Every structure is written in structure tokens, then in C-alpha cells.
Amino acid sequence: MTTKASNRGAAIEIRSITKTYGDFRALDDVSLHVEPGEFMTLLGPSGSGKTTTLNVVAGFTDLTSGTLLVGGKNVVGVPAHKRNIGVVFQHYALFPHMTVGRNVAYPLTLRGVGKAEREARVLRALDMVKMRDFAHRYPSELSGGQQQRVALARAIVFDPPVLLMDEPLGALDKKLREWLQLEIKRIHRELGTTFIYVTHDQEEALVLSDRIAVFNRGRIEQVGTGRELYDEPSTLFVGRFIGDSTVLRGGARSDGTGTALKIADETVTTPRRLSGDVTPVMLLRPEKLSIRRPGQPAAGQNRLSGRIAEAIYLGSGSKYEVALGDGSLAIVRSSLTDESFKIGEQVDLWFDGADAKLLADDASAETTLT
């Protein structure tokens, strides 16, 4: 099965698709290219259009306009059952009146695969998800995690060139979810199938994906690897959605040397500048901020004073929420070797201007997140 893994997946080309329900634009001119065999995650808050995109690719939802190519062929108007695309649902969707074995055999029976080959392929698929011993059980006798593994076997048993997964781990608890994430990653590697994975959990997206498409209000904000999205977010929404971040807002001034923001009575600067008529804000990752007691030597070009509002012990270190002079919260991480701080304590935060991302302010970035 693994020998010709590299040429098994199909490319997916989504070209400016739009889907409207009355006045509501569920998808607004979305374009996305997925490489053959790539693990692409559609990430975003609920109602952002990621599931609608998945349903459009699966053929469950019709397009209002746009083009969709799977493996180079236009599939607009092709009904779901003729697309040969595997789908794994959040709610498992196993047929309750069939055993695990018959569930997995179902797509093969429909394709007229002979009995001997069918049985061999069912066992191979169940092997892949480590459920071989359960072939004679009914879905109601299995746990949620086991049911989802059977559903995965059923979706890959007919060797589809594309596998779609719609929040498949959403109903499972954290430990099981983390273990199954690794299983899904392994199966993707072994199959070489193109995976499109929908989730609202950014950590899950970072663990699994080759690339991530971040959705917001029916549009794609940015597509990139996890590292690109974390280090170089192109919009404030992406910066806020991926990982922890501190956003600094305040009377901005730009000149030839860079941009300065005024936070309460302190001024912070960065050599970066934004073009166009936008309000710049600074986005800082927790590890770019250093936390020090007042009076200790400087640890960067910019200093902001604040008060510890929350101290969270994480085992490998601590996370602090620091209330700044203007009332906004900064998020800082410190390792165990650093000294620890108590709630209410006065502290200084230090950072280099070059480590701050300068982005256009977008009030909706905050409202969509909460």
C-alpha cells in the first residue's frame, strides 16, 4: 500500500467559490490550491465558512458561483456519490444496523468488489486504524474513539484520492484526541492521500497540517505553514487566532525611521511601517516579551510597565497575564529557571521593536474570537 503512496493523492483547485443563503454570504470568493498528498487544514471560528467549503468539495452543498477542480477535473454539478471522495464526520455516522465489518465493506459492495478482495481490503483498512478485532461488533458496542477509527477505515477502504475530515475529534476528550491526531498523521503519511481537515482548534491544526488556511467571515485570511502563520501573520485576525499574542494599541505615529505607539504614558517603537490609510497595532508573541522586576537591567529596546493580573503554572514554566497602563492585557511566558511573580506585583516588560509585528487594526478580529 505504501509503495506508490506519492502519486495517490489528487490536487484540489478551488477557484473563487461563493455560496450565499439569501443575503448571507457563507463563502465569499474563496480560492485555495491543495497539492496532491498535502495535509491541508481549514481553520477558523464557527460560521467562518470552513465546513461549508468542505461540504462544497464533498458535493453536499451546491455552489452559487465558482469552479472546483479535483484531480484536474471540474466536479461542479457532479453529485456527492459520484465524486469518489472519502468523508469522516464529527458524529461518526456509522450505520447502526451493520457490524463494523459490513460498515467498512459498504463502499466496496457498492463498487462491485468481489467477496475475497473485499474481505482482504476491509481487514487491511481495519488494521490501519487498529480495529481488526472489532469486525463483528456493532457500532453501539464501541466507544466514541473506536467508532471514529472505524469511520476512518470506511472512508479510506475504497482508496479515494481525497479524504475530507470535518472536526473528526470534536466529540472526544483531550487525551484521546491527542493520541488520534498522531494516528491520523501516521495514516496520512502511509496513504499519501490528499487530506482536507476542518477544525476550530488551532493547536490541532498546528500538530497535523502541512499548511493551514485560516477562515474568517466566509473568506480566507491567510494560507501558510503553521510557522508562517505564527511568525508572519498577514492580518490581526490570524495573529490572534494562532497561538497566544499581545496586541498593543495606542496613538500611532509613523515616520521615516519606523512607527511609535503610545501606551498610556509610555512610548514603544518598531522599525516597521505600514502603508496606506490604516491604524497600526503591534502584535507580540509571549516568548518575545521578557518580564523583569522594576529597576533590573534592561532586556530590550522597549519597556512597558504593568501589574501581574494572573499567574498560571504550566509545569514546564509559567504564563502571566500582565495588565498594562492602558488596561489591556499582555501575555508573557517564562521558563522555570526564571524567578516567579505574584498576582498584583509591579513588573516591567521588555521587547525589541523588530520582534513586534505591525498589523492593520481590525475590530472584528476581537469580536469573532470570543
Partner 1 sequence: MEMKPLTRAVLGLICLLVGIWLVAPTIVVAPMSFNGVKSLAFPPRGFSWQWYENFVTSPDWSSSFFNSLKIACLVAILATVLGTLAAFGLDRMRARPANLIRMLLLTPMVVPGVVLAIGIYAVYLDARLVGTLTGFVLAHTILALPFVLIAVSANLEVFDKRLETAAASLGAGALTTFRTVTLPLIAPGMLSGLLFAFATSFDEIIVSLFITNPYLRTLPVQIFASITRDADPTVAAVGTILLCVTTVLIGGGMLLLGRERRGRS
Residues that bind partner 1 (CB under 8 A): 58-60, 79-82, 84-87, 89, 91, 93, 95-97, 106-107, 110-111, 154-155, 158
Shortest Å, Cβ 65 to partner 1: 23
**Distance in angstroms (rounded) separating the CA atoms of residues 202 and 222:** 14
Shortest Å, Cβ 138 to partner 1: 11
**Distance in angstroms (rounded) separating the CA atoms of residues 26 and 135:** 40
Nearer of residues 166 and 362 to partner 1, judged by Cβ: 166
Report the amino acid identity of residue 177. R
Helix (H) / strand (E) containing 306: strand 302-313
**Distance in angstroms (rounded) separating the CA atoms of residues 306 and 310:** 12
Shortest Å, Cβ 9 to partner 1: 17
Shortest Å, Cβ 161 to partner 1: 14
Shortest Å, Cβ 78 to partner 1: 12
**Distance in angstroms (rounded) separating the CA atoms of residues 324 and 332:** 12
Nearer of residues 85 and 208 to partner 1, judged by Cβ: 85
Q: Which of 265, 342, 272 is nearest to 305 (CA)?
A: 265
Helix (H, G, I), strand (E, B) or coil at 298: coil
> In 10 A of CB 221, how many CB atoms?
23
Residue for cell digits 515616520?
A: 255
Task: Please state whether beta strands 162-166 and 86-88 pair in parallel, antiparallel, or not at all (unpaired).
Answer: parallel
158: left (phi > 0), else alpha (psi -120 to 50), else beta?
A: alpha
Shortest Å, Cβ 134 to partner 1: 19
Nearer of residues 89 and 217 to partner 1, judged by Cβ: 89
Q: Which residues are within 8 A (CB) of 55 and not within 5 positions of it... i.e. 6 or more apart?
A: 61
